[in-house]
Amino acid sequence: MKLPLPLFYLLFLPFLTACNPQEITDPEPTGPPNIILIISDDHAYQAISAYGSQLIQTPNIDKIGAQGVRFDRAFVTNSICSPSRAVILTGKHSHINGLRDNIEIFDSTQQTFPKLLRNNGYQTAIIGKWHLKSQPTGFDYWRVLPDQGHYYTPEFRTPEGLDTLDGYVTDVITDLAINWLDSLRNDTMPFMLMYNHKAPHREWLPGPDHLGAFMDEPLPEPATLFDDYSGRGRAAKEAEMRLADHMGLTNDNKIHPDIVDSLGFQEFMGWYAPVSLRNVNRMNEEDRRNWEEIYGPINENFKNNTPSGDELTRWKYQRYMQDYLGCIQSLDDNIGRLMAHLEEQGLADNTLLIYISDQGFYLGEHGWFDKRFMYEESFRTPLLMQWPGKIQPGTVNKDLVQNLDIAETILDAAGVSIPADMQGRSILPLFSEEKPKWRDALYYHYFEYPGIHAVKRHYGVRTDRYKLIHFYNDIDEWELYDLQEDPQEMKNVFGEPEYQEIKDELMKRLRELQAQYKDEI
Ligand code: SGN
Ligand code: CA
C-alpha cells in the first residue's frame, strides 16, 4: 500500500529520526510543514521596502524575504482579482479553470490544492477575501468576505450564514486567523491556512491607526505620471484608469459629494457610477470622529484652494497614495502580529509562509491606477517566502515564476504529488544545489472587456528581455517592448525593422505557449 506522504511522515518519522543519533539532538522540525498563504489585494511591489520602495517601509513583509526568499520576477497570468485567485487555487490558466474575469462564478467542484491537501492529512482554512462567488470548498473552516467586502464593520460569509464584526477589516481578519490557530484547529494535524486580505483594494480606506499617516511630506511622483501614450497604441490611450480623468474625487479621494458638486466637478460615470464614501458610513462613532478630524481639513483645503489641470492630477496622486499606503501600513503591522504569534507558539520553524498579491497595481505610473494590463507594474506581483531550514535566508531569485506555480509549490512542500493536469511548476527545486532547467518565457491572457476600466482583451509572451502583446476583440494591434532599453515600456517597437528577427522568435514562442497551455485563440 502506498501511504500519502504526510501520513508516512506522521507514522514513520519518529522511528527514522530515533535511529540517527545526530537527529535526536537536532531540534529541526520533522513531519510535513504547516503552510500559510497570505494573499493581499492589489499590493504593488512598488509599495514594499524589500523591493526598494521610495514610498513606504514594510518591515514585516520585508522580513519574510530576509528570512527566506524574495522573487524579483514573479508575475500573474491574468492581472485581475477573481481570476488570479482561481489560478492560485487550481494551478491552471483562466481558460482551463473556467474563471476568466471578475463576473464569472468559480466552479468549486473542480480540483484545487486545498482539496488535495485535505485528502492527504491536512487541516485547511480560509479567512478573508475569497471573491469567487461560489461557496468555498476544500476547507475545514471558512470565514470569507462577501464579494469585495468592507473596510469597516466587515461582514463574513460562514457556513452558518452572514456574520458582521466590529472593527477594521485587516485587524479583524488577523484576529480570526489567530483565533483559528489557537483555539479552533486540530493541533495533531498539519495545517494550511489561507490568510487573505482585502487591503489595499480601492477605495483605499486606511485603518484607525494610520488615518493621518503619509500626510506630512509630499510623496515622490513616478516619472511617467504625465505619460501621453504617444509611444503606444489605442489600448493604453482608451483605458479608463487615469488619475486625471477617471479617479473619483468623492469615493476615491474622499471629498464630500456636496463640495464636489458645488465646485462644478463632473465625476466620471464609467461602467459603474462611483459609490460615494460608502465605507466611511460604516465606521463606529469613535472611528468616524477620528476620521473627520483628519479628512475634515482636507475637504476644507480642497474647497478653498481647488487645484486644476496638472495640479489637480498631482493633488489626486498625493491623496491616492496617502490612503493606499495607510492601508498597507496596517497590512504590514498585522502580518507582523501574525508572524510574532507563530514564533511565540513555536510554529514558525515548521511553517512555509508565502506572501503574494493577487496582482500588481499602478501607483500613478503612466498616469494610472488599477491593473489588468500586461505592462510590468500590473503583470508583476510581489512574492516572498520563508521556510526555515529549507530556504536559505536572504535569497533573491530572478527566475520567471508565476501565480500559476503556487499550488504546485505548496503540494510539493507538503509531499503531495502534483497532478499532471496542473499547468505550473513547483518552484522549490530552484533552491536545490542542482537547479533545474527553468522556463524561458511566460504566457499571459486578460479577458475582462468590455468592462470597468476599459482595458482591451490581450494576450502575450514575456521573456527575460522582451515582451510581445496582442490586443484583440474590437482592436487588432501588436506591441513589442525591449525591457532592457525601455524598462518603462514607453515605446512600442513592433514596427521597427531592427526588431524583425526578435519579433519572429517571440511570435513563434507565443504560439508554442498557446499550444502548451491549450489556449485556443
Ligand atoms: C471594483 C473597483 C475597480 C476594480 C474592480 C476589480 N471599483 O469594481 O476599480 O478594478 O473592483 O478589482 S470600486 O470603486 O468599486 O472599488 S479586483 O481587485 O477585485 O479585481
Ligand atoms: Ca485585486
In the chain, where are the structural domains located? 34-205+326-432, 233-323, 446-516
Ligand 1 centre distance from Cα of residue 126 (Å): 22
Cβ(251) to ligand 1 under 6 A? yes
Tell me what pLDDT residue 17 has.
39
**Residues 129-147: tens digit of each pLDDT:** 999 999 999 999 999 999 9
Tell me what pLDDT residue 239 has.
98
Calculate the alpha carbon distances from 472 to 30, 82, 110 in Å.
51, 22, 29
**Sorting pLDDT into bands at 50, 70 and 90, what band is 481?**
very high
Quote the distance between the C-alpha of residue 88 and its chain's center: 10
Report the side by side order of strands in the sheet with 466-471.
441-446, 458-463, 466-471, 477-482
Tell me what pLDDT residue 29 has.
64
Give the cell for residue 359.
496582482
**Residues 218-248: tens digit of each pLDDT:** 999 999 999 999 999 999 999 999 999 999 9
Ligand 1 centre distance from Cα of residue 370 (Å): 8
- The one-letter code for the residue type at 440 is D
Ligand 2 centre distance from Cα of residue 397 (Å): 24
**Residue among 148, 249, 252 whose CB has most ligand 1 atoms within 8 A, to mutate:** 148
Cβ(81) to ligand 1 under 6 A? yes
**Sorting pLDDT into bands at 50, 70 and 90, what band is 5?**
very low
Question: CA 347 to CA 279: how far, in whole Å?
Answer: 36
Q: What is the pTM of this model?
A: 0.94
- For domain 446-516, give the CATH number: 3.30.1120.10
**Sorting pLDDT into bands at 50, 70 and 90, what band is 28?**
low
Pick the residue with more confidence: 22 or 85? 85
Average pLDDT over residues 98-115: 97
**Sorting pLDDT into bands at 50, 70 and 90, what band is 272?**
confident
Tell me what pLDDT residue 279 has.
85
**Residue among 106, 132, 201 whose CB has most ligand 1 atoms within 8 A, to mutate:** 201
CATH 3.30.1330.10 holds for 34-205+326-432: no
Task: For residue 196, give the ligand nearest its CA.
Answer: 2
On average, the pLDDT of the chain sits at: 94
**CA-based nearest residue to 39, from 77, 109, 86, 95:** 86
Helix boundaries (H) for 241-284: 243-246, 257-262
Average pLDDT over residues 104-113: 97
215, 322 contact by CB (below 8 A): yes
Average pLDDT over residues 73-90: 98
Cis peptide before 450 (omega within 30 of 0): yes
Cβ(102) to ligand 1 under 6 A? yes
Ligand 1 centre distance from Cα of residue 326 (Å): 18
Residue whose CA is closest, atom 13 of ligand 1?
Answer: 202
